[in-house]
Amino acid sequence: MTTVSDETAKVQDALKQKYLHHFNRQPVFSAYAPGRVEVLGNHTDYNEGFVLSAAINMGTFFVCSPNDTTTCRLVAGDIMEETVFDIAKPEKVAEMTWSNYVRGVIDGLGIDATLPHGFDGMFLGNIPLGAGLSSSAALEMSSALCLSALYGLDTSDKLNLAKTGQRAEHLFAGVKCGLLDQMTSLFGAESRLVHTDFRSLQAVTVPISSDVCLLMCNTHAKHSLTESAYNERRAHCEAAAKAFAGLLPHPVTHLRDVSSVEFEKLRNQIDPAAARRAAHVVGENTRVEIGVELLKQNRVAEFGRLMFDSHESSRHNFENSCAELDFLVETAGGIDGVLGARLSGGGFGGSTVVLTQKDAAKTIGDVIRKAYQKKYDTVCDIQVLLPSAGARIITD
């Protein structure tokens, strides 16, 4: 039996109240999906590589009831903004763009199923927006589960749900993301990291020592995946894979197919910028695989060092870090009790994830917060992230 934390339960209650007030009735269906933190394996998912991540103790609730028209009324519970559209035409919009994630999910669900009527829906969450913790995937997965319950659709194929969310990102939000965010939100488990192979699309979980915890440090520096930077990096990786395909005797469809030995042997034969992008992805894949073994042996200090290496590679090879993220990682690295730190997610702003000894976490958080305030004269939000259970339909 999974329980939501007190903080999350408050969000659920607030949503019920808002729904009742707005629609004058109780919602019939309800689902929850957590955000995620990427712990190791950066920009490896769309390169068919490996990632270690966790579903977190913050997420989004989506509730709805059927109505007897074909109209969908969808409300963002934080700002109480409502958008209205026909269930047969959940088109992408340029205003109230928050609704595109749900519109995209409905469009995806409608490919194989008949959605015969509209609904009155609302969502509310507690994932800080723009922090790199995948509030969008949480919205996609909570709406996909809730609307599947509403229309009587099978939700046993989690991979299929994840792909529906990814399709919404690609076609309705314009971000050519991989499957990391959606898979982690769905496959998360309490006190465990999710280890995903993005070629076989198999996700298994690995326990992480209860002596350590993760801190999220949100820079509030600009972070917008819809900007071209993310898609551009993806294109660089595809170009690098093509270059290696021309040099290696075996098939190379993605950077996953290039081993670190092959990379070192051939790196000078491809464009230097492409080689640096590839260095990041190939290196990250290796670090994840080593990291999994270290976690299994409870060697968390060595695991933490891989996180620092990962950040260094982001900074130098993938160029998806920024001054604020670098400052946080460097600051964390100088504090006793910190085991590892790196940027988490797409990059170009957002958050760092810091691995600390649990008993020192609060003190460490305070030191980081003060240092950031001193340097940038602005607040860096710090929260303890607990690896948590994945998305689910709520029956009560």
* Complex with ligand GLA: residue 177 or 270, whichever CB lies closer: 177
Query: How far is 21 from 224, CA to CA, in rounded Å?
Result: 33
The answer to whether 121 contacts ligand GLA (rule: CB under 6 A) is no
CB of 46 to ligand GLA, least distance (A): 6
| Interaction mask 23-52, ligand GLA, x per CB under 6 A | ---------------x---xx-xx------
Which 162-181 positions form the footprint of ligand GLA (CB under 6 A)?
Answer: 177-178, 180-181
CB of 177 to ligand GLA, least distance (A): 3
* Complex with ligand GLA: residue 45 or 120, whichever CB lies closer: 45
How many residues touch ligand GLA under the rule CB under 6 A: the total is 12
Query: How far is 169 from 232, CA to CA, in rounded Å?
Result: 16
Backbone angles phi, psi at 182, to 5 degrees: -70, -45
DSSP assignment of 118-177: -EEEEEEE-SPTTSSS-HHHHHHHHHHHHHHHHHT-----HHHHHHHHHHHIIIII----
With CB atoms as reference, the residue minimizing the distance to ligand GLA is 177
Which of 55, 133, 59 lies closest to 387 in space, CA to CA? 55
Catalytic, out of 45, 107, 120, 181: 181
* Complex with ligand GLA: residue 180 or 306, whichever CB lies closer: 180
Which of 195, 234, 255 lies closest to 51 in space, CA to CA? 195
The answer to whether 75 contacts ligand GLA (rule: CB under 6 A) is no
Alpha-carbon Rg of the chain, whole angstroms?
Answer: 21
CB of 19 to ligand GLA, least distance (A): 29
* Complex with ligand GLA: residue 38 or 324, whichever CB lies closer: 38
Strand partners, 340: 355
The answer to whether 283 contacts ligand GLA (rule: CB under 6 A) is no
User: Letter for the amino acid at 29?
Assistant: F
The answer to whether 140 contacts ligand GLA (rule: CB under 6 A) is no
Specify whether the CB–CB gap between 318 and 44 falls below 8 A: no
The answer to whether 353 contacts ligand GLA (rule: CB under 6 A) is no
Figure out which of the listed residues 118, 304, 345, 349 binds ligand GLA, where binding follows CB under 6 A: 345
Strand partners, 354: 215, 341
* Complex with ligand GLA: residue 291 or 346, whichever CB lies closer: 346
DSSP 189: B
The answer to whether 346 contacts ligand GLA (rule: CB under 6 A) is yes
* Complex with ligand GLA: residue 130 or 345, whichever CB lies closer: 345
| Cβ contacts of 337 within 8 Å, gap of 6 or more | 356, 357, 360, 363, 364
* Complex with ligand GLA: residue 121 or 125, whichever CB lies closer: 125
CB of 180 to ligand GLA, least distance (A): 4
DSSP 322: -
Active site residue 181: yes
Give the three-class secondary structure for 184. Answer: helix
Query: How far is 391 from 164, CA to CA, in rounded Å?
Result: 14
The answer to whether 218 contacts ligand GLA (rule: CB under 6 A) is no
Residue 305 burial (CB count, 10 A) = 17
CB of 77 to ligand GLA, least distance (A): 23
CB of 36 to ligand GLA, least distance (A): 8
The answer to whether 90 contacts ligand GLA (rule: CB under 6 A) is no
CB of 135 to ligand GLA, least distance (A): 11
Which of 83, 67, 81 lies closest to 29 in space, CA to CA? 67
The answer to whether 309 contacts ligand GLA (rule: CB under 6 A) is no
Would you name the residues annotated as active-site residues?
181
Give contact residues for ligand GLA (rule: CB under 6 A). 38, 42-43, 45-46, 134, 177-178, 180-181, 345-346
